[in-house]
Copies of this chain bind each other. A is one copy, B any other.
Amino acid sequence: MAGYRIGALAGRTGTNAATIRYYEEIGLLPRPDRREGNQRCYGEDDVRRLTFIRRCRDFGFSIEQVRTLVSLVQDRSRSCMEARDLAQTHLSAVQVKLRELAALEKSLVQFVAACDAECAGGPGPDCCILDDLSGTMKPAAGCCGTGLP
């Protein structure tokens, strides 16, 4: 009946207690009631709100974007289309990042494979892979050549 203390809220939402206090400080969470001993006391609304916030953060929205999203939830007179647009913008950024990361993964796989193939013997001072890394342009004449890492 007495509501949750910060640890319980933290547990229910998978959030660090210090992060909850931080969100309060930056105004992303409202100041909660306090009990006798000055400890924060949260209710279901706080659970919902923090769940929402964490979910948005997990999906890569910035704090400022989350702030906007929260205000959209608060103020229904504005269209949910604003949320849609925000999501769309974010989606585009995610897709770019996704492509970059996929390219990175490919390069890393090649780098590791090249290492395994060429340098398997161990600590050879002749390893050219590290040269590759610092090479500016020269195609490293038939060695590894992954352009990695």
Interface residues of A (CB under 8 A from B): 47-49, 51-52, 55-56, 59-61, 69, 72-73, 76-81, 83-84, 87-88, 90-91, 94-95, 97-98, 101-102, 104-105, 107-109, 111-112, 115-116, 119, 122-125, 127, 129-130, 133-136, 148-149
Contacts and interface: CB of A to CB of B under 8 A. Distances in A.
Given A59-B149, A134-B73, A98 B105 contact: yes
A52 B87 CA distance: 36
- Copies of this chain, how many? 2
A80 B90 CA distance: 39
A67 B115 CA distance: 20
Contacts of A98: 98, 101-102, 105
Contacts of A148: 59, 87
A87 B73 contact: no
B123 A111 contact: no
A10 to B, nearest CB: 15
